[in-house]
Structure 1
Amino acid sequence: MEVKTPGAQQLETEVETNVDAGMLELAIHTSAVAAQHMDPHDQSLSRLINLQTDQVSEVHNIHQVQVEAPSRDLVSSDATQPFFEDSIHDLNILWGGMDGSFALEDSFSLGFTFPFGLPSGTAPGLDFSEQTYLSFSGASTSGASGETIADNHHSDDDASLCNYQLPPLNQNDGYNSQDMENTSERPNTPVERPEGSEINYPWRIGKDDYNAIISEIEQVRHILPDGFIFPSKYVFCRYIEGFFTGSHGHLPFLHLPTVSISNLTPSLILAIIAMGAQYRFEIDRAACYFKASKSLIDNHSFALVSFNSDFHPGLDVETFDSSQKVEFEVLQSQIILSTLGIWGHHNLLRDSLSMTANIVQSLRAIGNCLHEDNSDNESWQTWIQKEGNRRTVFIAYMLSNNQTILYNVPPKILSSELRSLYLPWPEELWKASSATEWKALRSKWPHSVSFGDAYTQLFRSKQSRRKRTRLSSFGNLVLVHAIFQQIFLAWESECCMSQSEHLVSLPDESLTKFHTALRRWQRSWETSSDPSITPSSPKGPLGFNATAIFRMACIRLHLNLGPHRCLSTWQPGIIAHAFLNAPVPTQSPQVYHAVLQSIHALSIPVRLGVEYVARTQTLTWSTIHSLCNLECAIFLCKWLETLAMNPTDLHDDTKKLLRIITSVLREADLLVPNINMEFIKSSDLRQIGAVLVRLLSRILKGTHVFEMMHVFCEALRIYANLLEKNI
Structure 2
Amino acid sequence: MPGASVAVLPPPATSSSSRKVSLAPERKYKCQFCNRAFSRNTKERPFKCMKCRSTFVRRDLLLRHDRTVHAKDGGIPLHSDGKRRSSGPKTRAIGGPSKSSIALDTSTLEQMEANNDGNLDVEMETAAILVAHLHHKASAAMCADEGAYEDNPSIAYSPNSAAVMESTVTYPSGAIALPQMQWDNFMSPNATAPKAHSITSSTSGSFEAHQPFLGGLKGSLRTSISQGALGSKSASQSTIKTLPDSTPATPGPQSPSSTGAPPVSVKAPQVTTDEERNTILDTIRSYDREHAVPDGFRLPGLGSLNRYLSTYFGMFHHHLPFLHPASFSPIQVSPPLLLAVLSIGALYAFDQDQAYMLHIGSKVLVNQFLQNKENFSSRKCPLWTMQSSLLNMIFASWSGDPKGLEWACSIKSLLANMVAGNRYELKLRQEARAHAKPTRSEWIEDEGCRRTYYAVYIFFGLLTLTYNHTPAISFNEFEDLQLPSTEALWNLQVTDGSSWLEHLNGSPSVTFMEAHDNLFQGESLRYSAFATRVMINALFLEVWYHKRSPEALQDVVTEYKLRLALETWEKSLETCEPESIAVPLSAPHQGHHPLIFNARAMYRNARARLEVDLKSVQEALRYHDPYEVAAAMSHARDRVKRSSEIIKVIQECYNCIETAVSHGIRWVARTSPTNWSVEHPLCGMDLMIILSLWLYRLEHDEESATQEEVDMYNKVRQLFKKHAGDGYMSQLSSVVSRLWGSTLDEVVVWG
TM range (shorter): 0.5 to 0.7
The match for 2:292 is 224
The match for 1:318 is none
State which of 274, 281, 302 in structure 2 corresponds to 1:207. Answer: 274
Q: Kindly indicate whether the alpha-carbon contact (under 8 Å) linking 1:584 and 1:641 is maintained by their aligned counterparts in 2.
A: no
> Partner amino acid for 2:293?
P
After TM superposition, give the deviation of residue 482 of structure 1 in Å: 0.7
Structure 1 unaligned blocks of 5 or more: 1-102, 109-157, 168-179, 314-322, 499-504, 675-683, 708-727
For 1:199 and 1:286, locate their aligned partners in 2 and report how far apart those are by CA, in whole Å: 23
The match for 1:447 is 508
> Partner amino acid for 1:516?
L
For 1:638 and 1:445, locate their aligned partners in 2 and report how far apart those are by CA, in whole Å: 49
The match for 2:422 is 366
> Partner amino acid for 2:454?
F
Partner SS, residue 601 of structure 1: helix
Question: Is 1:355 the equivalent of 2:411?
Answer: yes
For 1:163 and 1:659, locate their aligned partners in 2 and report how far apart those are by CA, in whole Å: 18
Q: Kindly indicate whether the alpha-carbon contact (under 8 Å) linking 2:612 and 2:640 is maintained by their aligned counterparts in 1.
A: yes
Distance 1:232 1:458, change over 3 A: same
> Partner amino acid for 2:270?
W
State which of 677, 681, 693 in structure 2 corresponds to 1:638. Answer: 693
C-alpha RMSD over aligned residues = 3.6
After superposition, give the CA deviation of every residue in 1:615-638 in whole Å (9 maximum; x if it has no partner).
222211112101122111111122
After superposition, give the CA deviation of every residue in 1:89-132 in whole Å (9 maximum; x if it has no partner).
xxxxxxxxxxxxxx999999xxxxxxxxxxxxxxxxxxxxxxxx
For 1:624 and 1:527, locate their aligned partners in 2 and report how far apart those are by CA, in whole Å: 23
Distance 1:159 1:389, change over 3 A: closer
After TM superposition, give the deviation of residue 375 of structure 1 in Å: 6.2
State which of 421, 428, 444 in structure 1 corresponds to 2:488. Answer: 428
The match for 2:467 is 407
> Partner amino acid for 2:575?
T
Distance 1:107 1:261, change over 3 A: closer
> Partner amino acid for 1:478?
V
The match for 1:8 is none
The match for 1:329 is 384
Q: How does 1:203-352 map to 2 (within 5 A)?
A: 203-221=270-288, 222-227=290-295, 228-304=297-373, 307-308=374-375, 313=379, 327-346=382-401, 347-352=403-408
After TM superposition, give the deviation of residue 204 of structure 1 in Å: 4.1
Q: Kindly indicate whether the alpha-carbon contact (under 8 Å) linking 1:253 and 1:392 is maintained by their aligned counterparts in 2.
A: yes
The match for 2:623 is 569
After TM superposition, give the deviation of residue 435 of structure 1 in Å: 4.5
The match for 2:544 is 488
Q: Kindly indicate whether the alpha-carbon contact (under 8 Å) linking 2:294 and 2:361 is maintained by their aligned counterparts in 1.
A: no
For 2:322 and 2:439, locate their aligned partners in 1 and report how far apart those are by CA, in whole Å: 19
Q: Kindly indicate whether the alpha-carbon contact (under 8 Å) linking 2:688 and 2:740 is maintained by their aligned counterparts in 1.
A: yes
Q: Kindly indicate whether the alpha-carbon contact (under 8 Å) linking 1:370 and 1:420 is maintained by their aligned counterparts in 2.
A: no
Paired-residue identity, %: 23
> Partner amino acid for 1:405?
L
TM-score (norm 1): 0.63
Q: How does 1:99-178 map to 2 (within 5 A)?
A: 160-161=245-246, 164-165=249-250
Partner SS, residue 493 of structure 1: coil
After TM superposition, give the deviation of residue 563 of structure 1 in Å: 2.7
Question: Is 1:394 the equivalent of 2:465?
Answer: no
After TM superposition, give the deviation of residue 406 of structure 1 in Å: 1.3
After superposition, give the CA deviation of every residue in 1:308-355 in whole Å (9 maximum; x if it has no partner).
15x682xxxxxxxxx66xx11110001111111111140422222223
Q: Kindly indicate whether the alpha-carbon contact (under 8 Å) linking 1:246 and 1:279 is maintained by their aligned counterparts in 2.
A: yes
State which of 729, 733, 739 in structure 2 corresponds to 1:689. Answer: 733
After TM superposition, give the deviation of residue 378 of structure 1 in Å: 2.7
For 1:595 and 1:275, locate their aligned partners in 2 and report how far apart those are by CA, in whole Å: 35
Partner SS, residue 257 of structure 1: helix
State which of 548, 558, 565 in structure 1 corresponds to 2:601. Answer: 548
> Partner amino acid for 1:518?
L
After TM superposition, give the deviation of residue 443 of structure 1 in Å: 6.2
The match for 1:457 is 518
Partner SS, residue 327 of structure 2: coil
After TM superposition, give the deviation of residue 440 of structure 1 in Å: 8.9
For 1:423 and 1:637, locate their aligned partners in 2 and report how far apart those are by CA, in whole Å: 38
Which one has a bigger Cα radius of gyration?
A: 2
The match for 2:167 is none
Question: Is 1:516 the equivalent of 2:564?
Answer: yes
Question: Is 1:526 the equivalent of 2:593?
Answer: no
Q: Kindly indicate whether the alpha-carbon contact (under 8 Å) linking 2:525 and 2:575 is maintained by their aligned counterparts in 1.
A: no
After superposition, give the CA deviation of every residue in 1:230-255 in whole Å (9 maximum; x if it has no partner).
22222222222222122211221111
Q: Kindly indicate whether the alpha-carbon contact (under 8 Å) linking 2:601 and 2:683 is maintained by their aligned counterparts in 1.
A: yes
After TM superposition, give the deviation of residue 382 of structure 1 in Å: 1.9
Partner SS, residue 606 of structure 1: helix
After TM superposition, give the deviation of residue 190 of structure 1 in Å: 0.6
After TM superposition, give the deviation of residue 537 of structure 1 in Å: 5.7
Which range moved further: 647-656 or 606-615? Answer: 647-656
After TM superposition, give the deviation of residue 645 of structure 1 in Å: 6.4
For 2:592 and 2:435, locate their aligned partners in 1 and report how far apart those are by CA, in whole Å: 26
Q: Kindly indicate whether the alpha-carbon contact (under 8 Å) linking 2:587 and 2:675 is maintained by their aligned counterparts in 1.
A: no
Q: Kindly indicate whether the alpha-carbon contact (under 8 Å) linking 2:695 and 2:733 is maintained by their aligned counterparts in 1.
A: yes
Distance 1:278 1:514, change over 3 A: same
TM-score (norm 2): 0.61
Partner SS, residue 513 of structure 2: helix
After TM superposition, give the deviation of residue 591 of structure 1 in Å: 2.4
For 1:506 and 1:210, locate their aligned partners in 2 and report how far apart those are by CA, in whole Å: 62
After TM superposition, give the deviation of residue 206 of structure 1 in Å: 2.8
Distance 1:423 1:192, change over 3 A: closer
Question: Is 1:474 the equivalent of 2:530?
Answer: yes
The match for 2:650 is 595
Structure 2 unaligned blocks of 5 or more: 1-173, 180-242
For 1:488 and 1:369, locate their aligned partners in 2 and report how far apart those are by CA, in whole Å: 30
